[in-house]
Amino acid sequence: MFLSCDWGTSSFRLRLIQVADLKIIGEEKTDRGIAETYTLWKETSAGESERFKFYQSYITEQIEALHKKVSIPLDKVPVVLSGMASSTIGMLDLAYKELPFFLDGSDLKTETIQTEGSNPFIIISGVRTADDVIRGEETKVVGCSRILDQTHHEKLLILPGTHSKHILIKNGKAVGFKTYMTGEFFELLSNQSILSSSIEKGGDFDEQANQDSFKKGVQDSLTDNLLHACFRVRTNQLFDKVLKQQNFFYLSGLLIGTELKDELTRTTPVYLVSGSKFNAYYTLACDVLAIPVVKQIDGDTALIEGQKQIYTGLLRKAGLL
């Protein structure tokens, strides 16, 4: 077994994984992300030498909570961390791996820490180019490697999210990627801009009217300047053209369409790596833009599989497997 830890900027998730079949035996989730933990550590006025212990103590608390749920001793079970844990605001600041990296994760930067009386920690660092970075997504790429169609010379993995990633795969390596601030722009525009009063959350994406509005947004992203098209969300409401819930999906379509239109000049097979919510949006947007999606891969499964491969790879190098 191993403990899979996905510690993002705004959330924390710890899962006990059975290596043989990747079965999730138990799980703990909280809203205490890396950003909040970093702020709390700074407030303690503790020195840099105490930083790792501060973060470690929170993980230990969650391990104990998980232990009570599953009734399995967890004191020796290794914790595999990916995401923001290795960032400048994380528990350990690890340097990025320079692109490219192998799909088996064998050349990714990791740090193994064993302290007396605690669980071993395997921390996975991110990857960088000259002007872009990923943290966490590199682990998902490793987890996708066995699922990808090996007949395709090049492949493009699209990982939707607050900061969506488009990762190019070639000859068994990740060779390029781009970050798109799609989700963050949507949150800012829908909550903090003049457009916030013109939209309403909570609509059902399966409703035809909402899907039509979403598709209209995707289509408009091809022909309109985004800064101009976004104001149409306002005038749509002012002139009673659509309901506020439909406007919500129109804005979403505009932003996702703007992200995806970068791929219109490619003929590279696309793999969509995400959860169910984003899958529906991105699948429909790709359909509108005639971008063929070869396969959909569950993002959580990819993360756990990637952590497993990196962890077992380290065990092999050490002659323990």
91/153: higher pLDDT: 91
Residues 113 and 207 in one domain: no
Residues 116 and 190 in one domain: no
- Which of the listed residues 135, 157, 173 is the one where a domain comes to its end? 135
pLDDT tens for residues 200-232?
A: 999 999 999 999 999 999 999 999 999 999 999
Q: What is the mean pLDDT of the chain?
A: 94
pLDDT tens for residues 118-153?
A: 899 999 999 999 999 999 999 999 999 988 987 778
* DSSP assignments along 103-155, one per residue: TT-TTS-EEEE--TTS--EEEE--EE-SS-EESSHHHHHHHHTTTS-TT-SEE
Query: Has residue 313 been placed in a domain?
Result: no
Residues near 128 by beta carbon (within 8 Å), at least 6 away in sequence: 96, 97, 98, 99, 134
Whole-angstrom CA distances from 115 to 53, 134, 272 are: 10, 28, 39
Distance CA 224, CA 152 (A): 33
Query: Has residue 155 been placed in a domain?
Result: no
Using an 8 Å Cβ cutoff, are 14 and 63 in contact?
Answer: yes
Residues 14 and 110 in one domain: yes
Residues 9 and 125 in one domain: yes
Residues 8 and 129 in one domain: yes
Domain span holding position 41: 2-135
Residues 111 and 41 in one domain: yes
How many folded domains does the chain comprise? 2
Residues 186 and 128 in one domain: no
SS3 content of the chain, % helix, strand, coil (to 5): 45, 25, 35
pLDDT tens for residues 13-48?
A: 999 999 999 999 999 999 999 999 999 999 987 778
Q: What is the pLDDT of residue 55?
A: 94
The model carries a pTM of 0.93
Using an 8 Å Cβ cutoff, are 110 and 78 in contact?
Answer: no
> Of 237, 176, 250, 181, whose CA–CA distance to 211 is shortest?
250
Longest dimension (CA), the chain: 69
CATH number at residue 76: 3.30.420.300
